[in-house]
Structure 1
Amino acid sequence: MARRIFVVRHCEAEGQPREARLTDKGVQQAAELAEFFSKIKINRIVSSPFVRAIYSVSPLAELKQIEVETDERLSERILSTKVLEDWLQKLQATYNDLDLKFNGGESTREAMARVVSVVEEVLNGEAENTLIVTHGNLMSLLLKNYQSDFGFVQWQKLSNPDVFLLEFEENEVRLKHVWQK
């Protein structure tokens, strides 16, 4: 039996903190996401516990009458616990050196293992069609796990929101970009 996992990046938010809410535009995007998925079968929704991620999928959950489960493993990757003036260059370097780690942060390999563990758990469950909601960097690392050339440049091109489909059938995984807004 084929399994499908829709990987969603949250809608536009007011900032990076855990409690940052959606902007007015982000609220509209969340409604567009619900419309996008309205005719697609979804059995389960698992989200980052960050407010912007939950609010991005709340209209869809209400429409489908599905409870949003939260999972800490879908939280955004911590690049460093210190302010990095050159954070963009440092982030880019982590796509090339998967074990590179900055003060108090996670390496690419560690963050990737964390998000992949969610996918593996979903695949071992009952749901055929699951939607997971996360953040840009973590989403890109999940996609990199299944398509090794997905990197910094592709991360930069992600939109808020964005949606990719991972289809798992037997020993094959297909990755498809499905959000075209």
Structure 2
Amino acid sequence: MKKIYLIRHCEAEGQPPEAKLTERGLKQALELSWFLSDRKIDRIIASPYKRAIQSIQPLAQRLNIEIKTDQRLIERVLSTTNLSDWFEKLKTTFDDLELKFEGGESSQEAMKRIVEVLEEVFNSESKKTIIVTHGNILSLLLKYFNNDFGFEDWRNLSNPDVFLLKNEDNKVTIERIWKG
């Protein structure tokens, strides 16, 4: 059986790739390291964004595991133009997975790249892997396995958030395990 811990990063100062964790976010990262320290993790893969790496750094140091970064785990780009009604536009992309805004990627395109990472983990030797990413792309992965996962579920994610995905004999189950 493969276990994958899907983690949304801790509280951050903003959205740019270089945005750091807040003071609260740094404390959350320590809590996260204690929460996951006894799970016998053998691999950590993270978005290259600073907030994702900082979220898992305390655990990686504790377990002496190198954090591998993967560009496919970056946050989904809704648009490269400033959308004043971005919130409503994001909502529509949960219903229309092909909808795409200027310079952005559709939900389907973003979902495809994170599913690729997951499939590689399924096919690897690792038994227990952590994947650290961002809220919207994580939501799309959860939607891939449960089509009922929608916009309101995305809104209800926390920073951090942790889901345990188990793959046993090609049967995938997902459970939210963070009670933050």
Shorter-chain TM-score bucket reads over 0.9
Stretches of structure 2 that go unaligned for 5 or more consecutive residues are none
| Superposition TM-score, scaled by structure 2 size | 0.99
Q: Distance in 2 between matches of 1:68 and 1:167?
A: 21
Aligned to 1:160: 159
Alpha-carbon distance between aligned partners in 2 of 1:146 and 1:64, rounded to the nearest angstrom: 30
Paired amino acid for 2:104: G
Q: Percent identity among equivalent residues?
A: 56
TM superposition shift of 1:175:
0.6
- The residue that corresponds to 1:20 in the other structure is 19
Alignment of 1:9-88 (within 5 A): 9-88=8-87
Deviations 1:31-62 (A, max 9, x none): 00000001111010000000000000000000
Aligned to 1:96: 95
Give the Cα separation in 2 of the matches to 1:47 and 1:38: 17
C-alpha separation in 2, matches of 1:131 and 1:147: 20
TM-score by length of 1: 0.99
* Residue type at the aligned position of 2:133: T
1-structure distance, mates of 2:43, 2:37: 14
Secondary structure of the residue aligned to 2:101 is coil
SS of equivalent residue, structure 2 residue 82: coil
- CA distance in 2 between counterparts of 1:38 and 1:6 reads 12
The C-alpha deviation readout for 1:110-165, integer Å capped at 9, x for no partner, is 00000000000111111000000000000000011011111100000000000001
- Extract unaligned runs of 5+ from structure 1: none
Residues of 1 paired with 2:38 and 2:20: CA distance? 27
The residue aligned with 2:5 is 6
Count of residues in correspondence between the two structures: 180
Q: Secondary structure at the match of 1:4?
A: strand
The CA RMSD measured in Å over matched residues stands at 0.5
Q: Check if 1:146 corresponds to 2:142.
A: no
Residue aligned with 2:172, SS = strand
- 1:22 and 1:147 map into 2 onto residues whose CA distance is 30
